[in-house]
Homo-oligomer: A and B are copies of this chain.
Amino acid sequence: MTRMRMNQAIVAAIADEMRTDPTVVMFGEDVAAAGGPFKTSVGLLEEFGPMRVRDTPISEMAFTGAGVGSAAMGLRPIVEIMFMEFLGVALDQLVTQAAKLHYLSRGALSVPLTVRASVGPGTGFACQHSQTLENWVTSTPGLVVVSPSGPQTAYGLLRSAIQHQDPVIVLEPRAYYGVRGEVHTGPDAMIPLGRAQIARPGTAATVVCLGRTTAVALQAADRLAEIGYDIEIIDLLTLVPWDVAAVAQSVRRTGRLVVVEDAPLTGGWGGDIVSRIVTEEFGALVAAPFRICTPDVPVPYGKDLEKRFAPQPDEVGRQIRSYLETGEVPAHWWTREGGMTA
């Protein structure tokens, strides 16, 4: 176990994979000489050389596609998309090419490509650099979508993603690159794709989180525990295909489902969780499930605004407490505080 920041855990995962598998390569904007804009590739160029670690031009379509082509030819490329928004100029290569090549080659090709993209609010980068945008990639059969919640899961998921035979996109909560934690490394620390983790066992409600919101909900849970509410927190980790069984099992125990997410009310990924669970576990639910999400507005810049925009421990605690006390779904903060709808 070593204490490291999430970006260091990412470097460690990549380095460990590069050491064991000579087909692992990495490229993206300023990932080589500069060690990555978020310092997620520090030292890799020095250790693995310019054939395997490369800087690219500002050409997301070309270099994401280069990931697709080189993966199809047997490499295991890791492509860094600095901000998820930049996939808006390259989505075709991931969704319409990478995710379909195995299918369209009748299995003759596979695309063991890992795309890493930073996502979400919390760093003051404003509305063109702060979206989560999971929905750009979630309804794409053939593409795995994962999202770590801190240093340990960043390490474990990334190693699994690199080893996986299908394309995987890793959505990294950028607000957490600098967050520190104890990290267990090595092959045992790999986290299987497709499996959620119970981040905190509990009985009062099932709270499903992803990425940045797991730690938020954990903080809320501590305070709720003090007043006697013992919630279960599921860190989804894999968003596609997500672990329906784990969530369903938990809901069968708790009878209540809450999703905490950085995505907006309309179209956010939480809708998929609530919908599927309610269809499959209707009888087990003792109260309405609901989502604690972001309002339907572009991510605002101002410090206080951005903080208010995304779920924070206080608000999550308040919502869940009210839910458990009343059995009713609480109002969103922007409704409660009055007249703030766009």
Contact = CB atoms under 8 A, between A and B. Distances in A.
Interface of A: 61, 85, 87-89, 91-93, 95-96, 99-100, 103-104, 127-128, 131, 133, 135-136, 138-142, 240-242, 263-264, 266-276, 278-280, 282-283, 285, 287-291, 295-298, 329, 342
A61 B329 CA distance: 42
Contact of A282 (B127, B276, B288): B288
22 contacts: A85-B92, A85-B96, A87-B91, A88-B92, A89-B89, A100-B128, A133-B139, A135-B267, A138-B266, A139-B266, A141-B297, A271-B272, A271-B274, A273-B275, A274-B274, A274-B278, A274-B279, A275-B278, A278-B289, A279-B291, A282-B287, A282-B288
A296 B144 CA distance: 12
Nearest to A268: B139
A100 B287 contact: no
A218 to B, nearest CB: 23
A141 B266 CA distance: 8
A135 B92 CA distance: 14
Contact of A298 (B103, B135, B266, B275): B103
A291 B266 contact: no
A267 B140 CA distance: 8
A286 to B, nearest CB: 10
Contact of A264 (B141, B280, B283): B141
Contacts of A93: 88
Contacts of A95: 88
Contacts of A288: 278-280, 282-283
Contacts of A291: 275, 279
Given A139-B268, A279-B329, 14 more contacts: A85-B96, A89-B92, A91-B91, A96-B128, A99-B298, A100-B127, A100-B298, A140-B267, A141-B266, A141-B297, A270-B275, A280-B288, A282-B289, A282-B329
A89 B87 CA distance: 9
Contacts of A298: 99-100, 103-104, 141-142
B138 A136 contact: no
Contacts of A136: 91, 135-136
Contacts of A280: 288, 329
